Amino acid sequence: MCSIVEDDFGDDGGAHAMKEDTPQAELAGNEICRKCNIEVAVLKLNQKDPQCRGCFLSYVRHKFRASLGSTKIVRRGSRVLIILTGTPENVTLLDMVRFGLVQDAFKQLRIVPVLLFVDDDFVETPQEDRMQQLARRMQVFKQFESFPSYYTVCGSSKHVALTFDKPFSPAGFEQDEQRLMQVLNAVRSVSSKQDLLEQMRKRTYRAIAQTLQCSYVFLSDIGVDLAKTLLSNVALGRGCSLAQDVAFCDDRDETVKLIRPIRDLNPDEVSNYLQYSETPLLSLSSEKHFEDKPSLQNLTAKFIDNLMQSFPSTVSTVYRTGDKLDAPKAAPNRSTANGAEQDAETQDLFALFDRTLQLDPPQSLGACCRFCGATLDYRGSKTLFATEYSRLVSSRINAACSHEDILQKSKQMELDAERAVNGEEDDQGERRALMKQLCHGCRNIFEDVSDGL
């Protein structure tokens, strides 16, 4: 047990327990690597001994291989879909995969990589600037042209092969782009827009992975990205899927699992890997949509970035909190008899917004959300009950109500709040039927969609 008691903090509270990380002493000239004791050290990471170039690359690559080897989730010979973004983290992941494939038989990485670029630059970028941005991305992607590569847009179930020998100009995705823009324009808040884009990306990953017969999807999220995701999802009401959103493996969909193999890396290790790799590596800066506008995600990201500057060691503590959370398994609410309906939803990722699916009631308490696949978490929730009850009090109680009226209405409001939380209201229209099959986080997105959609 912890031996620190309240008296140990004194008048300053616990401020002394959280001190800013002091910068490491600079690397001395001709300092020898502490690992091999042969080569001259070229860098000194935070809280690490001086390392030469070869030892550092082996250290970072070992973290990548150890994450795959210790979990034993990815099977030998599996087809793996690796998402292309061109960011430094993404280029680092791709170079590690390429390096692992050319090792000897004992150390060889035994997977079949397939690359996919999911384009969503059309959301905020004019067409001319978008094509210029795509040309810059293609220069980065060309470094890995030995892998089969494909292109799609966010929200589409179609894909085309990427070509590097001539200028690439995508065609045939105009309808999918228009549908996504139509939905985004109907969403009121920026927080819901960003959350919608994130969920649509994951749905696109899984849809294309099934088409390309890939059982796993590699994402290039690192620790600081997962810390932002964890805190953002708490604010967005995605507690039911919090553990899976930051875990090494997101297995809410048994057919396609999302893997984060470099989640243990930090920004310093990524930047130094690009600098000291055997071959020069090109990368693009990370850009996210609506990051210049106020939202829960942007506010959280700014907080984590400031925390990373002053207290970098605490960021790993934030995202590793997700490892201690329980991830409830969802029982699929679509039986094999409804396979045609499931296939239709996989092919048309906007079917829920278009209301073109026949919605059946959830089959069990462990049913999963129709949009993100998380366990339905609303039934019997005390938190949602308190929120709904507070809303009813604000709308039904006023200064003109007598004490007797308040007592009588309070009992009715408790019943109405409980029925509203559990989806048992008298209004059983199409929209209410949809809300009963969404988790709380996805409900917030669909509630934020204007009625004109």
Task: Give pLDDT tens digits along the chain (453 positions).
Answer: 444 444 443 444 444 445 555 555 577 778 888 888 888 888 888 767 888 999 999 999 999 999 998 888 999 999 999 999 999 999 999 999 999 999 887 888 999 999 999 999 999 888 888 889 999 999 999 999 999 999 999 999 999 999 888 888 888 899 999 999 999 999 999 999 999 999 999 999 999 999 999 999 999 999 999 999 999 999 998 888 888 999 999 998 889 999 999 999 999 999 999 999 998 999 999 888 898 899 999 999 999 999 988 888 888 888 888 888 876 665 554 443 344 455 555 567 777 876 655 555 554 445 888 898 888 877 777 777 788 788 888 888 777 777 777 777 788 888 888 777 776 665 556 777 788 888 888 988 988 888 766
Look at residue 8 in the predicted model and tell me its pLDDT.
44
Quick check: 162 and 140 in contact, CB under 8 A? Answer: no
Look at residue 339 in the predicted model and tell me its pLDDT.
47
> Which amino acid, 199?
Q
Largest CA distance in the chain: 86
Look at residue 343 in the predicted model and tell me its pLDDT.
55
Distance CA 59, CA 34 (A): 13
Distance CA 252, CA 122 (A): 29
Quick check: 109 and 101 in contact, CB under 8 A? Answer: yes
Look at residue 228 in the predicted model and tell me its pLDDT.
94
3-state helix, strand, coil in the chain (%, to 5): 50, 10, 40
Domains of the chain, start order: 25-69 (no CATH), 73-324 (3.40.50.620), 367-448 (no CATH)
Look at residue 329 in the predicted model and tell me its pLDDT.
65
Continuous segment of H or E residues that includes residue 55: helix 53-71
Q: How many helices (H) and strands (E) does the chain have?
A: 16, 7
> Which amino acid, 273?
Y
Look at residue 275 in the predicted model and tell me its pLDDT.
93
Contacts for 18 with CB less than 8 Å, ≥ 6 apart: 311, 314
Distance CA 160, CA 98 (A): 23
Quick check: 372 and 199 in contact, CB under 8 A? Answer: yes
CA 10, 15, 20, 21 torsion-angle sign: positive
Global confidence as pTM: 0.85
